[in-house]
Amino acid sequence: MRNRSQKLAPAGFKRGSGVGSQKFLFCILYSIFCILPSCGYHIAGKGGSMPGNVATITIPFLKNQTQKPDVETIVTTALVDEFVKSGIVKVVEENADAVISGAVTSYDLTPVSFNKNDVIQEYRLTIKIEVSLVRKSDGKIVWQDKNITDYEDFKVTTTDINATKTAELDAVKKMAKDTARLIKERILEDF
């Protein structure tokens, strides 16, 4: 019977002094750390730095060019959260290297499904946003996209208007979060 404190060696390894296997492991790890960084591989949106030598950004509230109140607040909050969470750049209120600014330019609700009585069962909410990253030192536009569009479908509750409004708000929040991630990835993808 085996002693419980005795550990099993992985298949193909022999027990012994361990010096040879430690050297082998060191060589493998050394090779990995030397070779992988030189291959240029990185995960999309995880490039590690902002374009244009930007280390700090500020993100003022986006403009709202729609008739929907507070949509710009939800999108701006999601954008700030995404950049803070990424840790790639520091988000500050003042003295930033660059500004991410823009506007929510469109907020459209389109019916996408109906019941047998032609009553709307589901809406598609489509939001269009324009965003730019501008370096403050020289006013140069480092990155810009004037046509960021996303949509989210949500169910309509014909018997409860509050449930429908909650579903619409949830759709806006989800879309804002997804769009913020997309904006961050697009800014970083070529850098």
Domain total of the chain: 1
Q: What's the average model confidence in pLDDT over 75-101?
A: 96
Contacts of 90 (CB under 8 A, 6+ apart): 55, 56, 57
CATH number for the domain including 129? 3.30.160.150
Q: Does the residue 26 lie in any domain?
A: no
User: Tens digit of pLDDT for each residue in 128-174?
Assistant: 999 999 999 999 999 999 999 999 999 999 899 999 999 999 999 99
User: Tens digit of pLDDT for each residue in 10-47?
Assistant: 444 344 445 555 554 444 544 444 444 433 333 444 44
**pLDDT-based confidence at 126, cuts 50/70/90?**
very high
Q: Report the Cα–Cα distance between both ends of the chain, in Å, rounded.
A: 58
Q: Does the residue 90 lie in any domain?
A: yes
Q: Does the residue 184 lie in any domain?
A: yes
* Residues 167 and 155: beta-carbon distance below 8 Å: yes
The residue behind tokens 């193909």 is: 12
Q: Does the residue 20 lie in any domain?
A: no
Q: Which tokens belong to 38?
A: 């030189």
- Phi and psi at residue 2, in whole multiples of 5°? -85, 140
Q: Which tokens belong to 180?
A: 């913020």
SS (H, E, C) the chain: CCCCCCCCCCCCCCCCCCHHHHHHHHHHHHHHHHHHHHHCCCCCCCCCCCHHHCCEEECCCCEECCCCCCHHHHHHHHHHHHHHHHCCCEECCCCCCEEEEEEEEEEEEEEEEECCCCCEEEEEEEEEEEEEEEECCCCCEEEEEEEEEEEEEEECCCCCHHHHHHHHHHHHHHHHHHHHHHHHHHHHCCC
Q: Does the residue 21 lie in any domain?
A: no
The boundaries of the domain holding residue 76 are: 51-188
